[in-house]
Structure 1
Amino acid sequence: MIGYVTIGVSDMGKAKQFYGDLLGELGGKVLLDMERITFIGESMAKPMLAVCVPFNGEPNHPGNGNMVAIPAGSKAAVDKFYHKAIELGATCDGEPGQRIPDMFYGAYVRDPDGNKLAFFEFG
């Protein structure tokens, strides 16, 4: 249902390194790199994350209420991705923990450009 989600960044090299390192364990890799926009994912046939320098040339701005949620696969993996993101330069926006009893475990970070990410596991 989702082809790709695009987030604006200020430094393409830094963003490609951050997301390539972060999503590599989920099979994510740079699939298409067109200087201003880069698509990262497992394949062009699956949902991807695109990072781009805004087309209009204006500075990027993280959206208020926008967030990219990444299924981690387990609670332990949520913790692992959260800590890896922090090591890669993200900032904490909510430490790993059970959000809804017996239903949703998640953690939240902001990437180096301020875009909000969630790592989650249902159950």
Structure 2
Amino acid sequence: MIDHVGLSATDFDKSKAFYTEALGTLGIKLLADWTFGDRRIAGYGVDRATFWLHSGKQVRGDAHLAFRARSHAEVNAFYSVALSMGGTDNGAPGPRPHYHANYYGAFVLDPDGHNIEAVCHDPE
């Protein structure tokens, strides 16, 4: 249903490093890295870029993005790496049975305060 999504980053280099490492744990790679004048853009995905990060004005904590993980181990790795890259804990890895019986997720705030989640919908 959604073709792609983008977020603005106030410190592009810090956010790019954060997403490159954290999303890498989920098999999501940096596929594009462009500069247009004073605007920088990075695209992430598996086969094609579907998540776009761009330099921009300060907008704090107005977005929630969830990235699909293939296992609980990937959720755990995402959380650990995201914290090591400057993310802030917003919900440690674990079951979230109030969503559904097999929901296993972790939440971190990115360098701009956006709520970024890794989620696995499969039983362990």
Q: So what's the TM-score if we normalise by structure 1?
A: 0.82
SS in 1 for 2:5: strand
* 2:46 aligned to which of 38, 42, 47: 42
Q: Quote the residue 1:29 is aligned against.
A: 30
1:107 counterpart letter in structure 2: A
Structure 2 gap segments, 5+ residues each: none
Q: CA deviation at 1:71?
A: 0.9
Task: Check the 8 A contact 1:96/1:107 in 2, yes or no.
Answer: yes
Q: CA deviation at 1:60?
A: 2.4
Task: Check the 8 A contact 1:8/1:51 in 2, yes or no.
Answer: yes
User: Number of aligned pairs?
Assistant: 116
CA distance in 2, matches of 1:48, 1:14: 20
Q: Quote the residue 2:81 is aligned against.
A: 84
Structure 1 gap segments, 5+ residues each: none
Task: Check the 8 A contact 1:78/1:119 in 2, yes or no.
Answer: yes
CA distance in 2, matches of 1:48, 1:111: 18
Q: So what's the TM-score if we normalise by structure 2?
A: 0.82
The runs of 4+ residues in structure 1 deviating greater than 4 Å are none
Q: Greater RCO between the two (CA within 8 Å, min separation 6)?
A: 2
CA distance in 2, matches of 1:76, 1:10: 31
